[in-house]
Every structure is written in C-alpha cells, then in structure tokens.
C-alpha cells in the first residue's frame, strides 16, 4: 500500500435533475480528482466536478459495458495514488446499485469509503404524482423491489402483495405484463397503479391507471426504462387517479 491515503466516495446522484443532489454531494464532486460515472446518472453531473478526470463506467439493464471487477480495480488504483475518487450512482447508492459489493472490495483493499446518500427515483416518482408513498389511510409502509434478480428468477409477488405496503418496482419495464399478471393473482384488478419514467428529471413521463390496465396502458403510452412502477391504494390519492375514477364514474352514469 502507498503511504499517501486517498479515498472513495460512493455518491448518490439522485433521480435526474442536478438540484436533487444533496449539498454534501455537491461538495464531494467539487473536490473530486477522479469521477466514475454510471449511465443512470445525469450526464451533466460532470459540470459539478471541474477538477476531475471523468471515466464513464455505465452498464444499463444488464448489458455488460464495464465489468464490475474492472470498476473496482480502477477505484482502488486511484485511491492508492492518494486521489479522491468519486463513484457516482443514480438515485441513492444504497438501493439496487451493487454498492454492497463495491464497499466490501474497498474494505478488503483497505481503501477508506464515504457514502453520500441521495434521493431514490421511487421518491421522485411519488413527488411527480403528488402522493405520499405511505398514506396512512392505505398502508403502513412501502417496499422497494427490483424485478431484475441476480438468478434471473422472479420476486415472490404474492408475498410482496400480502404485506399491504405500496410496491415501488424498479427495473420492471421489460416484464411489466408478467409482473402485473402475478400481482393480479393477489390484488384486486382496481388497485391503483402508476408508471413514472425518468422520475425527477425534465423528461419525466407519468401514467396513472389500475393494476388490471397497467401493462396495456404502459405499452400504449410507449413508456419504457428507466421507470418506476408503483402499485397500491396510496397511488389512488393522486389527482390524476381521482380524475380517472371520476370520469369512469361519469361514463358509467351516462351509459
């Protein structure tokens, strides 16, 4: 080991717009020597790190553009040179970002690690919809779950539905029809559901519907990754859902 001690900051870039970064994240970026940037983070984040050498290491949706082992070697190499390496991750680094493996590898290599939290896209999606994730009339919590599992299996949708929590499903757009079908085995067809693509960014697109119509409406609207799928009674509090329910009722009365 070198006697000059660098460090790695695992930095949460938030869901999109740069002003959703924390003040602490902005400080760390300003002090960065090396910036490793994920492709789920806003590309303009490099403007906040004027002194840093920028290395792009994205791997979107399972395609292996930069192997994890290589990223880890890069971080260690630069930190051992005494440099401040900032590893940027979309959303909050501690949710679905392989931070666990990176922390373990850095710890094993005796490289100090800082973690800077951020806003995960599920929270930004709720903000876009104007809802609480946990409206107490509807649920006692929220579950953030990835549809993209390590062993390519499926999460236990019945068990997740049985909790009664709002479900915030990440990386689920490529299999939205099968997810909706599984959830329909456990939840009423009228359960409010939503898709928020590019939550928290200027490209945000939202769809509010029912679980029964989720897959068909999302496909018709042309929504795709990156997006968060939300399912549960709390989504029914959004103005968009209330308008939908009202117009459905109006149509039913008119018929």
Q: Which is nearer to a second copy, 52 or 127 (CB)?
A: 127
Environment class of residue 233 by beta-carbon count within 10 Å: exposed (0-12), middle (13-18) or buried (19+)?
middle
Known active-site residue 156 = no
Residue 30 has, within 13 A of its CA and on its CB side, a CA count of 7
Known active-site residue 27 = no
Q: Which is nearer to a second copy, 59 or 213 (CB)?
A: 59
187 secondary structure, DSSP code = S
Contact 22, 100 (CB under 8 A): no
Residue 13 has, within 13 A of its CA and on its CB side, a CA count of 27
- Polymer length in residues for the chain: 255
Q: Which is nearer to a second copy, 27 or 77 (CB)?
A: 27
Q: Which is nearer to a second copy, 134 or 225 (CB)?
A: 134
Give me the catalytic one of 92, 171, 173, 217: 171
Give me the catalytic one of 7, 17, 39, 59: 59
Q: Which is nearer to a second copy, 219 or 247 (CB)?
A: 247
The phi and psi torsions of 133 (rounded to 5 degrees) equal -70, -20
Q: Which residues bind a second copy (CB under 8 A)?
A: 14-15, 17-24, 26-27, 92-101, 103-104, 107, 113, 115-120, 123-124, 126-127, 130-137, 140-146, 149-150, 155-156, 159-160, 162-165, 200, 234, 237, 239
Report the nearest approach of a second copy to the CB of residue 198 (Å).
Answer: 15
Q: Which two tokens stand for residue 133?
A: 């994730």
Report the nearest approach of a second copy to the CB of residue 222 (Å).
Answer: 26
Give me the catalytic one of 38, 89, 92, 173: 38
The phi and psi torsions of 236 (rounded to 5 degrees) equal -65, -10
Q: How far apart are CA 127 and CA 144, in angstroms?
A: 16
Contact 13, 86 (CB under 8 A): no
Known active-site residue 59 = yes
Report the nearest approach of a second copy to the CB of residue 49 (Å).
Answer: 15
Q: Sheet with 205-210: list strands edge to edge.
A: 166-170, 227-231, 192-197, 205-210
210 secondary structure, DSSP code = E
Report the nearest approach of a second copy to the CB of residue 63 (Å).
Answer: 17
Residue 176, SS3 per DSSP = helix
Annotated active-site positions, please? 38, 59, 171
């Amino acid at each position: 080991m070198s006697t000059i001690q660098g460090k790695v900051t695992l930095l949460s870039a938030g869901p999109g717009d740069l002003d959703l970064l924390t003040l602490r994240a902005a400080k760390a970026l300003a002090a960065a020597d090396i910036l490793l940037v994920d492709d789920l983070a806003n590309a303009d984040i490099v403007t906040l790190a004027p002194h840093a050498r920028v290395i792009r290491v994205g791997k979107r949706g399972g395609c292996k553009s930069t192997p994890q082992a290589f990223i880890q070697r890069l971080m260690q190499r630069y930190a051992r040179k005494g440099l401040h390496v900032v590893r940027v991750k979309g959303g909050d680094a501690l949710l679905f970002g392989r931070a666990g493996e990176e922390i373990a590898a850095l710890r094993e290599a005796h490289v100090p690690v800082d973690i800077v939290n951020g806003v995960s896209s599920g929270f930004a999606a709720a903000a876009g919809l104007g809802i609480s994730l946990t409206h107490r009339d509807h649920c006692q919590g929220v579950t953030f779950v990835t549809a993209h599992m390590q062993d390519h299996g499926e999460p236990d949708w019945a068990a997740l539905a049985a909790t009664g929590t709002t479900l915030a499903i990440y990386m689920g757009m490529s299999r939205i029809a099968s997810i909706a079908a599984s959830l329909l085995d456990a939840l009423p067809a009228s359960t409010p559901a939503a898709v928020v693509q590019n939550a928290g960014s200027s490209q945000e697109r939202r769809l509010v519907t029912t679980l029964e119509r989720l897959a068909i409406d999302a496909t018709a609207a042309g929504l795709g990754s990156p997006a968060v799928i939300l399912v549960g009674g709390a989504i029914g509090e959004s103005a968009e859902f209330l308008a939908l329910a009202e117009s459905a009722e109006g149509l039913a009365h008119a018929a």
